[in-house]
Structure 1
Amino acid sequence: MHPQSPTLTSQQEGAAQRRGLRKVGAASLIGTTIEYYDFFVYGTAAALVFPAVFFPESSPAMGTIASFATFGVAFFARPVGSIIFGHFGDKIGRKRTLVWTLLVMGLSTVLIGFFPGYNSGVFGVLEGGIGIWAPILLVAMRFLQGLAMGGEWAGATLLTAEYAPRHQRGRMAIYPQLGPACAFFLASGTFFVVSITVGATSGAFLEYGWRFPFIASMLLVIVGLWIRLSIAETPVFKKHLESRTGTTAPAKLPFAEAFKKQWRQILISGLAMSTVFSMFYTGSTFLTSYGMSSLDFTRTMILGFGMIAAVVLGIVTAVAALVSDRVGRKRVIAVAYGGAVIWSLVLFPLLDTGSAFAFLIGVTVTLSLYGVANGPAGALLPEMFQSRFRYTGAGLSYNLGGIIGGAIPPILAAQIVANYSSIWVGVLLAGLSAVSLLCVLALPETKNNDLEADDTVVERSVTS
């Protein structure tokens, strides 16, 4: 008898495909978790320690404003990063570009952990500090973080979207979109452990304790690189790479072609995504500072609440992404933004009751509204752009929202709290949410788009 040649049944092929999709999803999740961990560790430190370490000559209020200003630098760098890394992502591939975003983010984060403060050194070195160079170096590293994050999000979401079956792109988008929840849990948890280990109010925490979460990023980056190097390039990009002529060839200058063909989608999507950022960075970073400075809660309690809220955020994000496969991306995001308009006006009166439970509810609901909108966003933006400039277009849209919603509101909110009633922070967030709601309603529904069909993917009116 001749041995039969090995063949796979349809059931076996389906199982192999599901394993492959899970591997891609895991690579995307681990990578975005590491990238966002680095990004959020900075945000947590900006609220907890940077005013004292890098801006000691300022008043507490001005130190907080300056600290959040350095936090906002990254959001202005993110569109630049989306153009730079988007260019290479659309020219040489998603996978190779994502390796570089991880390296840039990891290096800049680890270096922050070794920087001396304005008046203090690190681990017994340069104990007199380096003066004005401390905040200058901090801003430089924060800019590099922004560049890396600008290229990370679009690449990670494209990795899953371009592997996923058409009607499961929302499901696959869960993986990269869970990264923020996992990262916020890890960032809060790391600072929580350091706080209870060296003392939440001790000089040791301000001198060296806060540095450990930054330096620990080195281990996460090594794991992330190993995972990302083990996956293959996306099938959609490989298909376009095989043809260097005609409409399917990679764009010579993806940034220019993206704006030429779909500038309306980029601008309106940027405004639509701004509330995603304002809800997250209000819930994660600004409320951390507000809880300590205005409500006199302890650092460890606030960090513990952040970990609880991160778990809820992960669940909400996954459910919203799954639902978007059934009812569409626009409807789910619109519901989140409608809720954000109302919640923003309720949030600060609730917080100002001074109740710890009210603070937990405030952080959790704010982050949950972010999760409802962010879950479908991982599929919406990649579905909106043509393959040859998809990395650039999706990244630009998302990161323009970062400037409007992630950089500006925390700085304005810190100034409002220092000089006026906190209710005006809620009014600011409600107004931004209303604008985002109108913009998302103006975008086309994308859940049925064919990502391989460049001639049919969204050369449409944004009002269709």
Structure 2
Amino acid sequence: MSSSTEYPPDAPAPAATPAEVRRVAVASLVGTSIEWYDFFIYGLAAVIVFRGQFFPGASPLAGTLAALGTFAVGFLARPIGGVVFGHLGDRIGRKRTLVTTLVSMGVATALIGVLPNFAQIGVAAPILLVLLRVVQGLAVGGEWGGAVLISVEHAPENRRGLYGSFPQLGVPIGLITSNLVFLVLAATLSDEQFTSWGWRIPFLVSAALVAVGLYVRLKVTESPEFVAAAAAAKAAPSMRLPIITVARDHWPQVLCGIGIFAGITTMGYMAATFAIQYGTATLGLPNTFMISAVLVAALLEIPLSLYFSSLSDRIGRHRMILFGAVSTGLVAIVFLPLLATAVPVVVFIAVVLGRTGAAPMYGPSAAVAAEAFPVEVRYSGASIGYQLGSVLGGALAPIIATLLLASAAGVWGVSVYLTFMVVLAGIGTVVAGRLQARTAAVPAA
């Protein structure tokens, strides 16, 4: 490992000042919000316009699955990004790695905004689209772990739930800004203008946002815990590849993270992405209505996440996440039946419940993931658990739900599937709590 600041090998991690803690939390929030804006505008474009732009010859079902498939590719790349950037984050530091992920995401997103469609360059168009989506996935795969860790590692132990939730808020904020941009464009452009060139505007806006994010992110200090750990590192063989140490010594914690985040992201993406596609293509509801429902849900998610994250610092983070698993499980049972009514008010309620039901899980889960691993492998371990869970949840959930609805299982088959995924989160939470208690009970050598 290396760092620009050195401390004696036996020195404790220097405490960050309250001002530094707040500055780092805000910087993490800004950076992750931009990253998730980029990630979500792709999801919106995939369910609204990509079928016609990049898969014009496919049947409606095949075209929808192809567009959702390119969306899922980003998730499949995220674990690889978690490994690559997790290694860099554990070796060269959280700050420099986060700058790299932000630039990578911004460049890929802007290039999608100028990408020719199928009518212009043929099959090369969807191929290039997939490649750029892979870069987006790699960047997000590295972003989450670093943003969470640099916030958690600056924060005092009794406030890690709250400050760890700031990077998590990047998801609803990214969801809000991406949906708001599409909503404004849909209201000001004709359908022909939007599908022809208007959909490119949100991607091009990313270039300006990334410049702002870089300005903020370059001003933060490196994580004190990382600096101290870097100074104490003896370059043991196991530390040359942190992911090897994680796989050998901390795989139970990784499995718990996978379960927790699979449950969280399943409901989150069903409400944020699948609901728009299902509501517009199957139920015949207007794009503006469905996007507005997601927008309101994301707005409510922010204060709820902050409240439950702060509460978790007082009553216990694992206990709060378990409570969230129960609340989300109840929502999972009724989400699709409510959505399938096609009654606008009921659909609106379903989308809001789908996003906000998991708020007790979502905020505190960042600190839980960080605290599950030692500092020297924390970036790799937390990232892998989160990203693999996101693949099982966010990437596959819209596709599995689409296939189940087209089968004999129908609406209630989707409900069973969603409930099962949330149960995994509850199991992961219980086991993670026991592992942490067991580790704390072992006396230091």
- TM-score for the superposition, normalised by structure 1: 0.88
Following TM superposition, by how much is the alpha carbon of 1:252 offset from its aligned partner in structure 2, in angstroms? Answer: 1.3
Distance 2:134 2:106 in 1: 13
Structure 1 residues 355-366: aligned runs within 5 Å: 355-366=343-354
1:157/1:445 CA distance change after superposition, 3 Å: farther
1:335/1:242 CA distance change after superposition, 3 Å: same
**2:157 aligns with one of 166, 170, 187:** 166
**1:422 aligns with one of 404, 411, 414:** 411
Partner of residue 28, structure 2? 28
Partner of residue 259, structure 1? 247
Following TM superposition, by how much is the alpha carbon of 1:387 offset from its aligned partner in structure 2, in angstroms? Answer: 0.7
> Which has the higher Rg, Structure 1 or Structure 2?
1
Cα shift readout 1:245-275 (whole Å, capped 9, x = no counterpart): 288x992111101111101111232122101
Following TM superposition, by how much is the alpha carbon of 1:69 offset from its aligned partner in structure 2, in angstroms? Answer: 0.9
Partner of residue 298, structure 2? 310
Following TM superposition, by how much is the alpha carbon of 1:351 offset from its aligned partner in structure 2, in angstroms? Answer: 1.7
Partner of residue 7, structure 1? none
Cα shift readout 1:19-64 (whole Å, capped 9, x = no counterpart): 2211111100000000111011111111111111111111112111
Which 4+ runs in 1 deviate beyond 4 A?
445-449, 456-460
Partner of residue 4, structure 1? none
Following TM superposition, by how much is the alpha carbon of 1:446 offset from its aligned partner in structure 2, in angstroms? Answer: 8.6
- TM-score for the superposition, normalised by structure 2: 0.92
1:459/1:227 CA distance change after superposition, 3 Å: farther
Gaps of 5+ in 2: 1-15
Gaps of 5+ in 1: 1-15, 120-128, 450-455
Structure 1 residues 185-334: aligned runs within 5 Å: 185-199=176-190, 202-245=191-234, 251-334=239-322
Matched, 1:444 2:433: yes
Following TM superposition, by how much is the alpha carbon of 1:457 offset from its aligned partner in structure 2, in angstroms? Answer: 6.8
Cα shift readout 1:159-193 (whole Å, capped 9, x = no counterpart): 11100001110111121111111110000000001
Distance 1:132 1:419 in 2: 30
What amino acid maps onto 1:102 in structure 2? L
Looking at secondary structure, tell me which structure has more helix per residue: 2
1:349/1:146 CA distance change after superposition, 3 Å: same
55-64 vs 280-289, which moves further:
55-64
Partner of residue 88, structure 1? 88
Partner of residue 100, structure 1? 100
Following TM superposition, by how much is the alpha carbon of 1:371 offset from its aligned partner in structure 2, in angstroms? Answer: 2.4
Contact 2:155 2:163 in 1 (8 A): yes
Partner of residue 124, structure 1? none
**2:420 aligns with one of 421, 431, 434:** 431
Distance 2:189 2:367 in 1: 42
Partner of residue 154, structure 1? 145
Distance 1:405 1:117 in 2: 29
What amino acid maps onto 2:209 in structure 1? L
Following TM superposition, by how much is the alpha carbon of 1:416 offset from its aligned partner in structure 2, in angstroms? Answer: 2.2
1:369/1:250 CA distance change after superposition, 3 Å: farther
What amino acid maps onto 1:188 in structure 2? N
Distance 1:458 1:378 in 2: 23
Count of matched residue positions in the alignment of Structure 1 and Structure 2: 427
Distance 1:34 1:458 in 2: 40
What amino acid maps onto 2:149 in structure 1? L
Provide the alpha-carbon RMSD of the alignment: 2.0
Partner of residue 131, structure 2? 140
Contact 1:332 1:373 in 2 (8 A): yes
Distance 1:445 1:325 in 2: 18
Identity %: 37
Contact 2:331 2:357 in 1 (8 A): no
Distance 1:63 1:422 in 2: 21
Q: Secondary structure at the match of 1:422?
A: helix
